[in-house]
Amino acid sequence: MRLDTICPVETPEGTDLQAELAGLVPRALAYSVDFLLRMAILMALSIVLMVAGRVGDGLLLIAFFLLEWGYPVFFEVLRNGQTIGKKAFAIKVVNEDLTPVRFGSSFIRNLLRTADIFPFLYVSGSISMIVTKKFQRLGDLAAKTIVVYDERPEHNTALLDSVEPVTPSYPMTEDQQTAFVNFALNRGQLSDARQHEIAAIIQPKMPMRVTDPVEYVRGVGKWLLGAK
């Protein structure tokens, strides 16, 4: 079995859309942010409502109810599947077919939160997330929802403007080509030391005249992208 966090969904147009599933840790962190935020709101409200006496107590209980059951539904439906905590960790709730989640599904997954919490601290939900392929808690399973990363991928070939294209000295397999191109374009995410470490591995394969293996690999990458 191939283990992967990429979840492909075929669109009606016949293309495979891909989304990266969010696992237990980012989801737990996002939940903690939401939880602290809800507590902070309640605390602020309890101070404000203190002046209102017993009427204030009643309003506070209603606020408590709304924050506990309504907060996630409200944000998931109206804010593109993202509560504030989820937004902070760049994850969002979507249906299994990657369409935005609607009121019905959001309500199911948040009502069944009680089952996920059982017996304490989300033990059931965590087990469910670990054993299911799409990292779904029980509420997700029943509501047909998943939690995926919501990141705008950076793609900018202008990064390569300063690089001289280099014609490779030997034929390359498809996988090798992909590796060279991705290395050339991923410069921003790797430290210089790490780039050298990676490129130096294949230095024995490079022509003798090459002094900087990183420049060579990027040059070949640029050539493979079509620059002459």
Partner 1 sequence: MKQLDFEGQYSKFWTKFERTLDARKDADNESLENFPSEYRRLCQHLAMAKSRRYSTGLIGRLNDLVQRGYEALYGQQVKNHGLLIEYFRYGFPAALRSNATYLWVSAAVFVLPFIAMMVATFVNDQIIYSVMDASNVRGMESMYEPSAEKFGRERQADSDIMMFGFYIYNNIGIAFKCFAVGLFAGVGSLFMLAYNGVVLGGVSGHLTALNYTETFYPFVVGHGSFELTAIVFSGAAGLKLGFAFLSPGQYSRVKAIQLAASDAMKIMYGVFIMLLIAAFIEAFWSSSSLMPNWVKYSVGAFLWFIVYYYCFFWSRNKVALYLSQNAAR
Between residues 29 and 159, which has the closer beta carbon with respect to partner 1? 159
Shortest distance in whole angstroms from residue 110 CB to partner 1: 9
Residue 70 makes contact with partner 1 by CB under 8 A: no
Shortest distance in whole angstroms from residue 108 CB to partner 1: 5
CA separation for the pair 220, 9 (Å, rounded): 33
Position 58, amino acid: G
Single residue of 60, 84, 190, 202 touching partner 1 by CB under 8 A: 60
Residue 111 makes contact with partner 1 by CB under 8 A: yes
From residue 121, alpha-carbon distances to 69, 141, 185, 221 in Å are: 17, 19, 42, 49
Position 88, amino acid: A
Per-position x/- string for 12-31, each x denoting binding to partner 1 as judged by CB under 8 A, each - no binding: xxxxxxxx------------
Position 209, amino acid: R
Position 185, amino acid: L
Per-position x/- string for 152-191, each x denoting binding to partner 1 as judged by CB under 8 A, each - no binding: xxxxxx----------------x--xx--xx--xx-----
Would you say how long the chain is, in residues?
Answer: 228
Residues contacting residue 226 through CB under 8 Å, at least 6 positions apart: none
Residue 6 β-bridge partners = 20
Shortest distance in whole angstroms from residue 211 CB to partner 1: 26
Shortest distance in whole angstroms from residue 204 CB to partner 1: 26
Residue 91 makes contact with partner 1 by CB under 8 A: no
Residue 209 makes contact with partner 1 by CB under 8 A: no
CB of 42 closer than 8 Å to CB of 79? no
Report whether the peptide linkage leading into residue 119 is cis, meaning its omega lies within 30 degrees of zero. Answer: yes
Between 192-201 and 213-225, two packed helices, what is the crossing angle to 10 degrees?
Answer: 80
Q: Among the candidate windows 32-40, 149-157, 195-203, 207-215, which touches partner 1 by CB under 8 A?
A: 149-157
Residues that bind partner 1 (CB under 8 A): 11-19, 53-55, 57-62, 64-65, 68-69, 98-100, 102, 104, 107-108, 111-115, 118, 138, 141-144, 152-157, 174, 177-178, 181-182, 185-186, 224-227
